[in-house]
Structure 1
């Protein structure tokens, strides 16, 4: 029998919800491009419920305990003597989310001799040391595409909120004011702007498709160029590198995975090459940007705004400078954890577990590391240090 250790974020401060804002979710037939939604044998949860917090347990307890397995769920993941470290010692499987990552460092993997599978309930497995997973024969899998559209919607929302100065304007209302001049002094139309994405995979391409109706000029850079018919359909301009693209853009959105090639990419030098007054949106990973370079660019006016929902570390400490820098639209890491997305990534997590426990192949598109090397989606999206 297996021990599954699941690290999830805390319940709402007022307790686990008794009711929800909506009674149901739209039913999706599949993902763009033809990939099917998760296909577990069954689910033991109601779609639309809060599944990503500790009480939600990703809907896994009944399924696992009925089969004789042990499920441990905790939000205590950092610090000396954390529940994560204590329980990891004899865990066979670790499940974590990008929004509340259980950082599976090389040291932690070394101290977990039974560990065979690390599942990301969501997308983005950079909180796992992939080189260490490769060395120790740990399979790494994530629920590819489960929340790609969720994140793309969040990106579009953040672009509009920055360009239109939405958040400061809303605050004037909350504070009882009617200060129109203050609201519009930093408000512009998105129409006619040049918008570029760093990476045009599932999320980046979905962002481009959603922005096309706004009558903007669309740009992208990616190490895998899109098919010509897609470029022509969306009137895309391809750039061979990020450095080539960002000087022409009014808005840049980062939709790339974090790996050695992207870490620290947006530093002082690259940001200095952007248009004065450009906007930068990062829902990918915080370490793609130099933390302090972003602060300096906002304070100097080089950037007109920065928005994102990814931080390092996560959760971000109270004194993290991105909390207090000017002209930002930061949120906690929520873009891919809507109740709609949770339904899909909980189902996908169970599908991966069912395959692994029954000795069946895990979908190729879910695999990041297997058999001592990058595999599946991981071979397409990631690079390693070795």
Structure 2
């Protein structure tokens, strides 16, 4: 560890962590802000910042990554940077292998956006059951309740919610879903301990298809990686109940969109609630006119409280790393020497 105060660089100003919090952090760390609003500005300005303020030991990426993508401009941080902390829960936009090879620990946000994202999943769940896209269109067109298919709506009581990935977000979702008298099933890489299953009243399914075939509503809450890309495709839709409901607040590419289109057109999926899509923000316009789809522009974790928690998680990961040698939520901790 450096004898000087570690130098931490933030990509843009952390506007939500709080002035008092930042002031306390800077008692232990030198802190610089890379004033860049997009990728090209970051590329142009990072070398000058390091030249003026000294080499960076840590780097923070705040919420709202699209303007900076692709993240291929970190080379000037080498060889001194030892940790990067992202305010996002997902990390598919980062080259984790490159970081591991260069001795950089990468951390994501574990809990900051979890509850807010679960709230979005609940919103979409109720929206698809109540057919709100068609209902709102009916009101705006002056038809009130005369549009066919609005009544009676589906009631969540007694239905089964299948959660794909019972991590931080999935656990919040399970807890909130219980309020609506939903039965909870889940599928994850590893089964939770029995006491945790009891806490969330969740029943483990030994396979993804077992979950899909026994759920009235399926919610995607797993991270996007090589194993989960197109995790839900033709065979998975075939395994679902006829007229199932699908919620995705994770990443668009977890669902094979071509297969989803077929499932919606054929009625296998009655309605879908999507906060995420492929190729954001240039998504397939096919979804725009569908009355059986509730759309949101990837807003799940974008709340004021989540922003504050996310920024502070970044700082706390860095604080823990330089105090103890271990970050709080390393993604690649077992791959960095």
Q: Please indicate, yes or no, whether the TM-score normalized by the shorter chain is above 0.5.
A: yes
- 2:43 pairs with 1:85: yes
Does residue 195 of structure 2 align to residue 229 of structure 1? yes
Given that residues 264 and 287 in structure 1 are in contact (C-alpha distance below 8 angstroms), is that contact kept between their aligned partners in structure 2?
yes
- The equivalent residue for 2:95 is 129
RMSD: 3.3
- 1:76 corresponds, among 26, 33, 38, to 38
The structure-2 alpha-carbon separation of the partners of 1:300 and 1:8, relative to structure 1 and needing over 3 Å to count, comes to farther
Q: 1:290 aligns with which of 218, 234, 256?
A: 256
What is the alpha-carbon distance in structure 1 between the residues aligned to residue 8 and residue 157 of structure 2?
53
5+ unaligned residues in a row in structure 1: which ranges? 10-15, 17-41, 46-58, 375-386
Q: If the length of structure 1 is used for normalisation, what is the TM-score?
A: 0.72
Displacement of 1:268 in angstroms is: 1.8
Aligned residues: 322
> What TM-score does the superposition give when structure 2 sets the normalisation length?
0.81
In the alignment, the residues of structure 2 paired with residue 303 and residue 325 of structure 1 have an alpha-carbon distance, to the nearest angstrom, of 13
Identify the residue that residue 31 of structure 1 maps to in structure 2: none
Relative to 1, partners in 2 of residues 1:142 and 1:252: Cα closer, same or farther, differing over 3 Å? same
- Shift of the alpha carbon at 1:135? 1.0
The 1:228–1:125 alpha-carbon spacing in structure 2 relative to 1, beyond 3 Å, is: same
User: Paired residue for 2:19?
Assistant: 44
User: Which range is displaced more, 272-281 or 302-311?
Assistant: 302-311
Contact 2:133 2:291 in 1 (8 A): no
1:347 equivalent in structure 2: 312
Tell me which residue corresponds to 1:12.
none
SS in 2 for 1:279: strand
Distance 1:8 1:254, change over 3 A: farther
**Which residue does 2:53 correspond to in 1?**
none
Shift of 1:193: 1.5
Q: Deviations over 1:124-148 (max 9, x none)?
A: 2222121221111122112321121
Unaligned runs of 5+ in 2: 1-5, 51-55
Over 3 Å counting, the alpha-carbon distance change for 1:343 and 1:184 in structure 2 is same
State how far apart, in whole Å, the 2-side matches of 1:243 and 1:212 are.
23
Most deviating of 224-233 and 88-97: 88-97
Are residues 295 and 362 of structure 1, via their aligned partners in 2, closer, same or farther at CA, if it must alter by over 3 Å? farther
Cα distance in 2 for residues equivalent to 1:186 and 1:7: 49
Q: Find 2:330's aligned residue among 359, 367, 372.
A: 367
Alignment of 1:169-248 (within 5 A): 169-182=135-148, 184=150, 187-232=153-198, 234-248=200-214
Which deviations, in whole Å up to 9, do the C-alpha atoms of 1:133-179 show, x marking residues without a partner? 11111221123211211111111111011011123323333444412
Partner of 2:9 in structure 1? 4
User: Which of 280-289 and 95-104 deviates more?
Assistant: 95-104
